[in-house]
Structure 1
Amino acid sequence: MARKKILVTGGAGFIGGNFVQYMVNKYPAYDIYNLDLLTYAGDLTKHRNIESRDNYFFIKADIADPDTMIPLFDKERFDYVVHFAAESHVDRSITDPGVFVRTNVLGTQVLLEASKRIGLSKFIHVSTDEVYGELDFDPNTFFTEDTPLQPNSPYSASKASSDLLVRAYYETYGLPMNITRCSNNYGPYQFPEKLIPLTISRLLTNEKVPIYGDGKNIRDWLHVSDHCSAIDLILHEGGNGEIYNVGGYNELSNLEIVKMIMAILGKSEGFIEFVPDRLGHDKRYAINPAKLAELGWKPAYTFENGIGQTILWYLENKQWWEGILNGEYEHYFSKQYVSLKNG
């Protein structure tokens, strides 16, 4: 029987990279193709432990280039695509929206067209709860799969647009698909512009931690390993054409997160510095993942266990994130938080 071929786009990024490792290790009978352009957040060092495996392959390519994608799909005849590749940082989308439209919208359309040509078995489109907009602080309100799309940032607008393209290829052409919309992820190998690794890395270097506004914005937090197991289940068991929300059952404010990390690391709350709020900063995201639970999924990590494991990982892997901070990201950070005073 022919081996299944799974193309993972964005497999050098944070969530995609964790998913590549998860699949290579769990399914030795599947061939896992990691496709990534290796932009600023792409990092292949995380895959040193699997790069010699017989079922792992890497392709450097741009998903928005049809002259590359169409021949690649025609040649390899992938069975499944799990599409993570995206520009994902909200702050960067406010600074340069055009890059997000090209990668997240055009890139998704190119992949869909290539998938349609070869009769793909399933296209998994990994999206975000940010496409739903924001919730108020009422703890009884949640996003469901039927919540209308009301994106508030260029990033979330580009993801909502790509979601609609995936749906259109299913409705118009019959391309088998699932869309997943996850809450905020955290865990190993997360790029240090995101809240949790930013806080950890700043505290470990005795620098101030910037918090937008009053820090009361609430997010639902999902360990990246739990996200990987959810996508695995949806890939194999998800109903054709269905959308699934993936949430971690962990609602916390940004300020609560930062204070929790400070307590674990034994750092003073004097390292907190409030900075001017982000433009269009959504108040609260919260997911109801009941539909996914009906497939048999539930998160394995509590936030307390997950954040402890994550902090330990960053302590044990300083070389990885210090190399990033000494490079391009350092220039970006100084631009993004111009009001920050270290001390």
Structure 2
Amino acid sequence: MASKKLFITGATGYIGGSVLEAIVHKYPSLQISALLRSVSPEFKERYPTVQVVNGTFDDGDVIAQAAENADIVIHTGDIDHPGCAAAILAGLSKKTTPSYLIHLTGTGCVSDRLTNAWDGKPNPKIWSDITDIDTIYSLPDTALHHTIDRSIMDASNGLLKTVCICPPDIYGQARGVGGRESFMVPQFVDVVMKTKEPFYVGEGANWRAVTHLDDVVSLFMLILESMLKGGGGLSFGKEGFYFAVADEIKWKDAAEALCKLGIEQGWLPPNTKTVSYDEQRFSTVYQPAWLGLYLFASNSRADSARARRLGWRPQGPDFWTVLPEDARAAVARRV
């Protein structure tokens, strides 16, 4: 294991930073390199053995060389940056020894926002990463993340083995250096602190899959552990697609809980009530509107059958337990 080399992107991001923290602690002898635009004193102090690859997601030659030098690449950076993904694959394709790629994606690929027929309504469809894998692979290019996901799937071959990890909305505070907060709850708090209107769209009955950050990290670690042992038990390529879903919430319930928390924590007036927005009203308070409607109006439901088969069992606290801390932290970063 001492001779294995790992290259990671997004090492100071919310997910990637937490993954790096876990890897450094569990595998201190692993030779780790990380793509960084700049290096903070905190990063240097915390990870003195991590080799810094200076560059951005636009530096294709730098990324390709770092990928070629690695046995395992974990891509958690800008997952929708086509040049970065292409550079990683280009570097790995030059290798003459076995290598692995773990690519982060997200359940936005299976969101029903493409049609907007379900905005604010409960969609009964729950996607499986086993029985629906052919449909997932054949999603249109307009599906979020999908063109890059498919290129990762297609790149898997005799020497290069690829895996996509697909978490939903994530909650919980980060463990690493850099990005500390998730996206959905902080985005909601950001809007509501300005409008004083905790909102849902239409009926607010749409379902959002959720997972604690620690559980997302644990799936990365489970797959990495298997790769370090030769990859036994893993699926790769088209079948190497792993949802990382622990639970799901109805958005109206979340909006009402955040309304109550806002009053209790003092960032909303005492008599605040939740409100229902139609799409026209929503587009005046959140831009780009398509992203907000994806986050707060669409359904994004999935079943982690493949991850469970591998042995993944979410252990993190549930969404409602962590929500007060996440809300408080989001507010603190905005005042």
* TM-score, structure 1 as length reference: 0.71
Cα gap change, 1:179/1:113 in structure 2, threshold over 3 Å: closer, same or farther?
same
Match of 2:89 among 108, 112, 127: 112
Moved more, 178-187 or 145-154: 145-154
Distance in 1, matches of 2:128 and 2:140, equals 15
Range 274-283 or range 294-303, more displaced: 274-283
Three-state SS of the structure 2 residue aligned to 1:176 is: strand
| TM superposition shift of 1:83 | 0.8
Name the counterpart of 2:196.
208
- CA spacing shift, 1:146–1:9, aligned 2, 3 Å: farther
CA distance in 2, matches of 1:309, 1:50: 28
Instruction: Pick from 74, 77, 82 the counterpart of residue 82 of structure 1.
Output: 74
What is the DSSP-based 3-state SS (H/G/I as helix, E as strand, rest coil) of the residue aligned with 1:168? helix
Distance 1:182 1:16 in 2: 13
1:5 and 1:79 in contact (8 A); partners too: yes
Q: TM (normalized to structure 2)? A: 0.73
8 A Cα contact 1:143 1:288, kept in partner: yes
Displacement after TM superposition at 1:131 (Å): 1.7
User: What residue is the counterpart of 2:323 in the other structure?
Assistant: 307
Q: Secondary structure at the match of 1:11?
A: coil
1:279 is the counterpart of 2:295: no
- Asked if the contact 1:188/1:314 (under 8 Å) is kept, the reply is no
Cα-to-partner distance string for 1:277-333 (whole Å, 9 max, x where unaligned): 533845311111122112211111222233244345557xx3xx34xx8xxxxxxxx
The answer as to 2:102 corresponding to 1:124 is yes
Counterpart in 1 of 2:252? 255
Distance 1:289 1:32, change over 3 A: same
**Post-superposition shift, 1:35?**
1.5
Partners in 1 of 2:87 and 2:186 — Cα distance?
32
Measured after TM superposition, the shift of residue 245 of structure 1 is 2.9
1:57–1:254 CA distance, 2 compared to 1 (3 A): farther
1:117-266 superposed matches below 5 A: 117-118=94-95, 119=97, 121-134=99-112, 137-139=122-124, 141-147=126-132, 148-149=135-136, 156-157=143-144, 159-171=145-157, 174-189=159-174, 194-200=183-189, 208=196, 211=199, 213-214=201-202, 215-237=204-226, 239-241=234-236, 242-265=239-262, 266=264
- What is the alpha-carbon distance in structure 2 between the residues aligned to residue 67 and residue 263 of structure 1? 50
Higher relative contact order (CA 8 A, sep 6+): 2
- Rounded to whole Å, the distance in 1 between the matches of 2:170 and 2:325 is 14
CA distance in 2: counterparts of 1:117 and 1:152, whole angstroms: 30
Following TM superposition, by how much is the alpha carbon of 1:3 offset from its aligned partner in structure 2, in angstroms? 3.9
Cα distance between partner residues in 1 of 2:125 and 2:109: 20
Q: Which one-letter code corresponds to 1:225 in the other structure?
A: D
State the 1:9 CA deviation. Answer: 0.9
SS in 2 for 1:248: coil
Structure 1: which amino acid aligns with 2:166?
R
- The 1:55–1:251 alpha-carbon spacing in structure 2 relative to 1, beyond 3 Å, is same
Counterpart CA distance in 1 for 2:251 and 2:51 is 38
Instruction: Report the CA distance shift for 1:53/1:288 in structure 2 as closer, same or farther (over 3 A).
Output: same
CA contact (8 A) 1:79 1:122 kept: yes
Counterpart CA distance in 2 for 1:58 and 1:180 is 24
CA gap of 1:55–1:310, structure 2 versus 1, over 3 A, is: farther
How many residues are paired up?
A: 292
Whether 1:22 aligns to 2:22 is yes
In structure 2, what is the Cα distance between the partners aligned to 1:259 and 1:56? 43
Three-state SS of the structure 2 residue aligned to 1:270 is: coil
Kindly indicate whether the alpha-carbon contact (under 8 Å) linking 2:127 and 2:303 is maintained by their aligned counterparts in 1: yes
CA distance in 1: counterparts of 2:11 and 2:256, whole angstroms: 31
Structure 2 match to 1:66? 60
Q: Deviations over 1:223-278 (max 9, x none)?
A: 11110001111222351414243343322233322322332342554376844253
Q: Which amino acid aligns with 1:163?
A: D
Quickly say closer, same or farther: Cα 1:153–1:140, change in 2 above 3 A: closer
Q: Which runs of 5+ in 2 are unaligned?
A: 227-232, 284-288
Deviation at 1:60, TM superposition (A): 3.4
The answer as to 2:297 corresponding to 1:297 is: no
Question: Mind listing any 5+ residue stretches in structure 1 that lack a counterpart?
Answer: 39-43, 88-99, 326-343
